[in-house]
Chains A and B, each alone.
Chain A
Amino acid sequence: MWGALARRGGRGGWRGLAAGRPPAAAAPWSQVVSEAEKIVGYPTSFMSLRCLLSDELSNIAMQVRKLVGTKHPLLDTARGFVYDSRNNLQMRGLVILLISKAAGPSTAELSFQPNMVSGIYSSQRSLAEITELIHTAFLVHRGIVNIGELKSCDGPLKDMQFGNKMAVLSGDFLLANACTSLAQLQNTKVVELISSAIGDLVQGIYYENSKLSEENCLTDDIGISTWKEQVFLSHSALLAKSCQAAMELAKHNAEIQDMAFQYGKHMSMSHKLHSDLQPFVKESSSDTVVFSLNSAPAILHQEFLGREAWIKQIREAQGKGSLMDYKKLQEAIKAGKGVTSAIDLCRYHGNRALAALESFPPSEARSALANIVHAVTRFS
């Protein structure tokens, strides 16, 4: 399981963070989360029961069992839902509930407050669930395998085709459920926002994919600004736009909507940076750390060093074999300015997120949102 977590860490999923050691000074991650969960009323049981109990998903569960023993990534993803559920606390949903509560009802809505539980509208709870559904759908769709690129070590072709079939179907099923719930919110602006976030997410994942397939090229020649654009699409857009949509559902004005967007955007950027930094800030264990050459510290390292020198370092780490000596490369990056400037960047986004929170009145929920930022910007 930890192996799977480490692999996911590269994508900067929430799991990567949960798996990391709790920062020494800030409250432990799990504590931040469990306190935050108390604030929003009841535990964030997304992936709604309705969805889990449906014929379609139990059908999938039956079929996915056939994949046990194969190497299809869907199995890993599915395993993650079950074994990882304690750590994988569906943070996006939680953040949306917290910011909904922090904003409270808008003055336009003060006269009547129907459907409010623990200071959160039921429509906002639906939205939190929708966001989780979309995120999960793409975890599943990320795991589609290219049949043409399979090698004999990947096992029988038929298994992989079957795995793909299941992955497309279950991802589509989750997306369709998200669309249906979205339509039920009866707010065209929210539908537009979330739909465009799905488009952003697809484009972001698409960049990840094109990198994966060109692994031979080792690294893309991208600067940190391109990196930021791509990470915004793949990691921030959904949360940022969902936070904004939560404000729209409570009829908050454009300014508050923008602040919620900014919080979602910068918090998830700093989270991504935090998870990218983990291989470089943890006391080195004996295990070989594998990190993405497109992670923030590596990209920043290249910016300082120049592309040619960086390529040279990679070639040296590669040696004669095709296997990369990540330890060596890690030391090279640590010796440069990439790590410190990634930490700076992480704190910069953290501060931007905190600044956005200033627009909300002080409350437990707002403190919880601030604590989340603190947890992802502290480095031991």
Chain B
Amino acid sequence: MALRWWWRWRCGASSRRAPPLGSLPRLRLPGPGSRPPPAPSAAMCHFLQRSTILSFPKICNILWRLHHTSISQMCSCRKTISDEKYQDPFQLGRKDLKNLYEDIKKELLVSTAELREMCEYYFDGKGKAFRPMIVVLMARACNIHHNNSREMQASQRSVAVIAEMIHTASLVHDDVIDDANSRRGKMTVNQIWGERKAVLAGDFILSAASVALARIGNTTIISVLTQVIEDLVRGEFLQLGSKENENERFAHYLEKTFKKTASLIANSCKAVSILGCPDPKVHEIAYQYGKNVGIAFQLIDDVLDFTSCADHLGKPTAADLKLGLATGPVLFACRQFPEMNAMIMRRFSKPGDVERARKYVLQSDGVQQTTYLAQRYCHEATREISKLRPSPEREALIQLTEMVLLRDK
């Protein structure tokens, strides 16, 4: 929603037809180099495009102002919802996440000491546990919404465990694929034990998550969370390819972001809502909240790759560029510096590309615009979750969207 608004605003398009929820924007916006066919609408679009480029600084200005007003609007609207504004959302979920990592380790029944060590490597309690946190808060918010129940079901807690396991399994494989050296401030599994074993460790964590999932004993939940596994792989495939057309490229980027990051959050939120409440409307709210927060989370992640320092992040910076990936900040910067197009197409493979692209991004407003886009997604998440009956957990989830934006690691 936010995105559609955003693009329409940027492009000056006036289409009123709303695509179905969850669809990605399909825009007709020729890149600066392409020739529009002599259809009137396309010519109009081309004109708009040119004017956008010509008046770019002005637009940035407007953007910034708009961005600030929208934040203050969001804040004021939140005040009316809740007085507990400064409550730490993590505090609320923490009691449910006590022993999270112990419980995960219990699922990892391995006979070999070394394989166990590898599988438990990232479950050291030093992760953010961001996903389980959202899941338990969502579970409680839905339970209260449904019948004012203050209890969380064991199956809902299991979903939190499984979500973190699926996430970790995908991290282990991603690090092999990207040949990464460090994560969360320590060496990656593949660095220590080699790629061959690392891939097996990832497979094992996934199989253990699958067993835990089956033990919940609900085929709908199995389907919902299996979708995540499929999306994760498809997202990885999307990352392999790139699009030539600028708009397609952005849609491609967002689709990849959804599949690689947001799908896990969206579908585990949906899973706990199904377990807690029979109303399909609530399931959709939970899913939309998770999806929007998830995309925002990844957008900020992509920003931090440019703005944070390596020590703080626990992994090297400009990592995406080094992998040849053009994320949000780059795609925005490219509108300002069209010379980046060539670099994107060759996946920053020439010597000096990474440094130059980084410089361009920091000179441009790519970081601000990506942050702004993330804000729109958070706003949408807030709008969705506000449809639930008020509860401390619901407020915590709203608060959490803000923390997603403010986080620095």
Name A residues whose Cβ lies closer than 8 Å to a Cβ of B. Answer: 55-56, 59, 63, 138, 141, 144-149, 161, 164-165, 167-169, 171-173, 175-177, 179-180, 182-184, 186-189, 191-192, 195-196, 198-199, 202-203, 205-207, 209-210, 213
Contacts and interface: CB of A to CB of B under 8 A. Distances in A.
Contacts of B199: 141, 144, 167-168, 171
Contacts of B215: 188, 192
B195 A188 contact: no
Interface of B: 109-112, 114-115, 173, 176-177, 179, 190, 194-197, 199-200, 203-204, 206-208, 210-211, 213-219, 222-223, 226-227, 229-230, 232-234, 236-237, 240-241
A210 B114 contact: yes
Contact of A202 (B114, B179, B204, B234): B204
B196 A145 contact: yes
A56 B234 contact: yes
Say what secondary structure dominates the interface of chain B.
helix
B109 to A, nearest CB: 8
A59 to B, nearest CB: 6
**Which of B190, B196, B226, B229 has the largest number of chain A CB atoms within 10 A?**
B196
A50 B18 CA distance: 32
B219 A187 contact: yes
B173 A144 contact: no
Contacts of B218: 188
Nearest to B224: A183
Contact of A63 (B109, B208, B240): B240
B236 A195 contact: no
B195 A144 contact: yes
A11 to B, nearest CB: 14
A183 B219 contact: yes
Given A141-B199, A147-B195, A176-B232, A188 B222 contact: yes
Nearest to A140: B199
Contacts of B222: 183, 188, 191
A188 B196 contact: no
Contacts of B206: 175, 198
A180 B176 contact: no
Nearest to A176: B233
A173 B114 contact: no
**Among A164, A196, A206, residue most surrounded by chain B Cβ atoms (within 10 Å):** A206
Contacts of A176: 229-230, 232-234
A199 B233 contact: no
A191 B214 contact: yes
Contact of A182 (B204, B226, B241): B226
Given A145-B195, A164-B177, A169-B237, 8 more contacts: A141-B203, A168-B177, A172-B233, A180-B227, A188-B222, A192-B214, A203-B115, A205-B200
Contact of B236 (A172, A203, A206): A172
A179 B226 contact: yes
A149 B213 contact: no
Nearest to B108: A199
A210 B195 CA distance: 13
Contact of B203 (A175, A177, A187, A196): A175
16 contacts: A56-B237, A138-B203, A145-B196, A146-B194, A164-B176, A164-B179, A169-B236, A169-B240, A172-B232, A175-B229, A179-B229, A180-B229, A188-B222, A195-B210, A202-B204, A205-B200
A374 to B, nearest CB: 34
Contacts of B173: 168, 172
Contacts of A144: 176, 195-196, 199
A141 B227 CA distance: 22
B209 to A, nearest CB: 8
B194 A203 contact: no
Contacts of A199: 109, 204, 207-208, 211
Nearest to A167: B199
Contacts of A55: 237
Contacts of B190: 147
A179 B114 CA distance: 26
Contacts of A173: 233, 237
Contacts of A210: 112, 114
A191 B199 CA distance: 22
Contacts of A168: 173, 176-177, 199
Nearest to A169: B236
Contacts of A184: 223
B203 A198 contact: yes
B396 to A, nearest CB: 31
Nearest to B223: A183
A45 B153 CA distance: 43
B115 to A, nearest CB: 5
Contacts of A171: 199
Given A191-B213, A198-B210, A59 B229 contact: no
A209 B197 contact: yes
A102 to B, nearest CB: 26
A313 to B, nearest CB: 29
Nearest to A143: B196
Contacts of B233: 56, 169, 172-173, 175-176
Given A179-B229, A180-B230, A202-B200, A169 B177 contact: yes
Contacts of B237: 55-56, 59, 169, 173
Most chain A C-beta atoms within 10 Å of own C-beta, residue among B173, B177, B199, B206: B199
B230 A206 contact: no
Contacts of A206: 112, 115, 197, 200
B207 A195 contact: yes
B219 A188 contact: yes
A258 B240 CA distance: 45
A182 B214 CA distance: 11
A203 B210 contact: no
Given A173-B233, A202-B204, A206-B112, A179 B240 contact: no
Given A182-B226, A191-B214, A59 B241 contact: yes
A282 B277 CA distance: 65
B214 A180 contact: no
B110 A203 contact: yes
Nearest to B211: A195
Given A144-B195, A191-B222, A203 B213 contact: no
B385 to A, nearest CB: 27
Contacts of B226: 179-180, 182-183
Given A176-B232, A188-B218, A206-B197, A147 B211 contact: no
B112 A196 contact: no
B207 A198 contact: yes
A167 B202 CA distance: 14
Contacts of B216: 188
The 10 A-B pairs with the shortest beta carbon distances in the complex, nearest first, are: A195-B210, A192-B214, A146-B194, A198-B207, A191-B214, A183-B226, A199-B207, A176-B233, A202-B204, A195-B211
A199 B208 CA distance: 7
B236 A179 contact: no
B196 A203 contact: no
B200 to A, nearest CB: 5
Contacts of B214: 188-189, 191-192, 195
Nearest to A181: B226
